[in-house]
Amino acid sequence: MSYDLAVFDPDVAPRSRAQFRSWFDEQTRWGESHGYDDPDIPVSALKNWFREMITSFPPMNGPLRSTNSDDPRVTDYSLGRNIIYGAFAGSIGTAAYHRAFELARKHRVGFYNVSDEPSDIWVPGPSGNFTKIV
């Protein structure tokens, strides 16, 4: 069982929970005209988040993929233009959550805890703190 998290471009994602969920569902239909393991596809802030995140949780696929398939930290990422979805091993879910959230704050991208219900959706606020979408 995986522990799923997503980060997203807060400049394009809706700021209401219902609209965000619809937008997220559309994004995760993976209908963009590119592969989803290319680290050059995401917008700059997401690309920076990804480059730092993979130092702790390396990717399973793509040009930067890990060669150690037995490592539970190896993660299945899907890289869209405005969203990155990570399916982490359940055994490392808590560590992945903390690192992903920390880096989301650092890189000022949105954060969505897909595996939690009700799920937390966070966006950077004007003062630099994160604000929860309700």
Query: Residues 18-75: pLDDT tens digits?
Result: 999 999 999 999 999 999 999 999 999 999 999 999 999 999 999 999 999 899 999 9
Q: Cα separation of 3 and 65, whole Å?
A: 19
Partners of 121 in beta bridges:
112
> Is the pLDDT confidence value at 128 over 80?
no
CA distance readout (Å), 54 to 23, 99, 100? 26, 10, 10
Q: Cα separation of 124 and 128, whole Å?
A: 6
> Is the pLDDT confidence value at 6 over 80?
yes
**Taking the chain, what is the end-to-end CA distance rounded to the nearest angstrom?**
27
pLDDT of amino acid 127 = 81
Within 8 A by CB and 6+ apart from 127, the residues are none
The model's pLDDT over 67-124, given as tens digits with 9 standing for 90+, comes to 998 999 999 999 999 999 999 999 999 999 999 999 999 999 999 999 988 788 999 9
Q: Cα separation of 10 and 128, whole Å?
A: 13
pLDDT of amino acid 26 = 97
pLDDT of amino acid 56 = 98
Q: How many domains does the chain have?
A: 1
Range of the domain at 10: 2-132
Q: For the whole model, what pTM was predicted?
A: 0.95
